[in-house]
Structure 1
Amino acid sequence: MCGRNSLFIDQADLEARFDAQVVADGGYSPRYNITPGDNLHIITAEASDEIDAYHWGLIPFWADQPEEGIINARSDTADEKRVFEQAWESRPCLVLSSGFYEWKAPNGGSKQPYRIYREDDPAFAMAGLWEVWEGDNETISCVTILTTEPNDLMNSIHDRMPVVLPQDVESDWLTADPDTRKELCQPYPKEDLDAYEISTRVNNPGNDDPQVIKPLDHEQSGLGEFNSG
């Protein structure tokens, strides 16, 4: 799954990376600890040259009142779920990230957080679906992140991972038909995804600063450590 995100690249570099301009209300500020219910910066198929910010948690259209919403959707079954039906058909988006976080409980002990990031890319895109929830007095644009089976790196940390899109298929995700997009929902295939242990500062949503991404013990943990037991 994906329960925490970050996006802290400079705005000019972010806009250059995705060839899009920030249009979100409130602009853009670097975030090191984005939690469900916060805003995620996204790019939709309807406005591929704009970076907007949507509520993280897709609120079911039948909900009478706004709620936190569904933060993750399984890509293998999303097309079968009524709550995602319209979004799957016509509302794909790119969820922008500088790295996401996952927790592992070795031998049933305390959960250890990890930061997962792309070595060669200070910002990348995860596959998402967006929707607009309409209430009596408000509308909320909201988003969920699609997940898939783990790749070799993530397999030692968690049994699911977000659909991280290679850069060369980001535009395809936005423009392809639903069947083609489902084929793109694969474990990240390249070897530039890496992970390291971080401190439990990330557990507190109030901690939203560069210290969150500091490697534990000042040393990055490589894949070999994850596979050693």
Structure 2
Amino acid sequence: MCGRFVVARSVGEIQTIFEVDEIIGELPGVSYNVAPTQPIAIIVDRAFEKADDGSPIGELSREIHAARWGLVPRWAKSPTEHAPLINGRIESILEKPSFKDSVVRRRCVIPASGYYEWQVAADGSKQPFYITAGTDGMFALAGLYEWWSDPTKDTKDPQRWLLSATTLTKHTAPELAHIHDRNPVLLSPDTFEAWLDPHIVGDEDLLMAVANDSDLVAGEAEFYKVGTEVGKVSNNSANLISPIN
């Protein structure tokens, strides 16, 4: 699973790379140790009007929003009712009440320079690896988002609404199998637009196409060992992604 990742680009750079039309609200900045429940940037394609069935009407706007990493289902009593839903298994998300509705039209992209994964040795020791799109690249992680409404706040209070998101994972690509048995679902140029497009209803076919292309992206990823300092959430500097022998 992906439990930590890196965003080594500014919001402005992300906007340019992913051809985003508008930045909504205050976005988190550069971070070398993004952890669960922290704010993350998510990219969505959004229509200003919707039909009764939730389908978009008119042109779409590509936007960046800040969201809590750890999806909160709209039916949850509180954001802390359960452990943060930071990952969803792509093989079973259509069967999970927490995720299946979001698959239909609430899909997002989570931009990341790379992510950390821990390789477990035979003696139980853990070695962190940094898996990256390269110095000049960025991964587009497939994600889902949801809006949760706080019943204790007034309906007109903008703080009533919490936007949250989760990353998706799959069985690992062959090139990364020696590190961990799963990896984030990585969107390719061919699947990026379809994943974001709310005109396209999310179904098994879309999930299969995205999962298959993810292996192609993962096969080109760079990876190397990094220091164990990344295991502490309070550590956050560029030194965390420096390779070690």
TM bracket (short chain): 0.7 to 0.9
The 3 A distance-change label for structure 1 pair 178 and 27 is closer
Distance in 2 separating the partners of 1:69 and 1:115: 23
One-letter amino acid of the counterpart of residue 25, structure 1: G
Post-superposition offset of 1:23: 2.2
Post-superposition offset of 1:22: 5.9
Selected match of 1:185 from 211, 220, 227: 211
**Structure 2 match to 1:57:** 70
Q: Which runs of 4+ in 1 moved over 4 A?
A: none
Query: Mean Cα displacement is larger for which, 190-199 or 97-106?
Result: 190-199
Equivalenced residue count is 217
**Is residue 28–residue 40 contact of structure 2 (8 Å, CA) maintained in 1?**
no
Q: Say yes or no: does 1:153 pair with 2:178.
A: no
Secondary structure at 2:142 match in 1: strand
Distance in 1 separating the partners of 2:136 and 2:215: 14
Secondary structure at 1:94 match in 2: strand
**Structure 2 match to 1:105:** 120
Selected match of 2:84 from 59, 64, 69: 69
What percent of counterpart residues are identical? 31
**Structure 2 match to 1:164:** 186
Distance in 1 separating the partners of 2:18 and 2:124: 40
Post-superposition offset of 1:201: 1.1
Distance in 2 separating the partners of 1:119 and 1:125: 13
Query: Mean Cα displacement is larger for which, 171-180 or 80-89?
Result: 171-180
**Is residue 45–residue 63 contact of structure 2 (8 Å, CA) maintained in 1?**
no
**Structure 1 match to 2:157:** none
Distance in 1 separating the partners of 2:228 and 2:15: 31
**Is residue 58–residue 131 contact of structure 1 (8 Å, CA) maintained in 2?**
yes
Q: Say yes or no: does 1:195 pair with 2:223.
A: yes
Stretches of structure 2 that go unaligned for 5 or more consecutive residues are: 47-59, 154-159
**Structure 2 match to 1:19:** 19
Q: Could you report, residue by residue, the CA deviation over 1:143-188 in whole angstroms, capped at 9, with x for unpaired residues?
A: 0111111001221111111101113321111123313421212342
**Is residue 55–residue 142 contact of structure 1 (8 Å, CA) maintained in 2?**
yes
Distance in 1 separating the partners of 2:99 and 2:138: 26
TM-score (norm 2): 0.82
Stretches of structure 1 that go unaligned for 5 or more consecutive residues are: 218-229
The 3 A distance-change label for structure 1 pair 90 and 209 is same
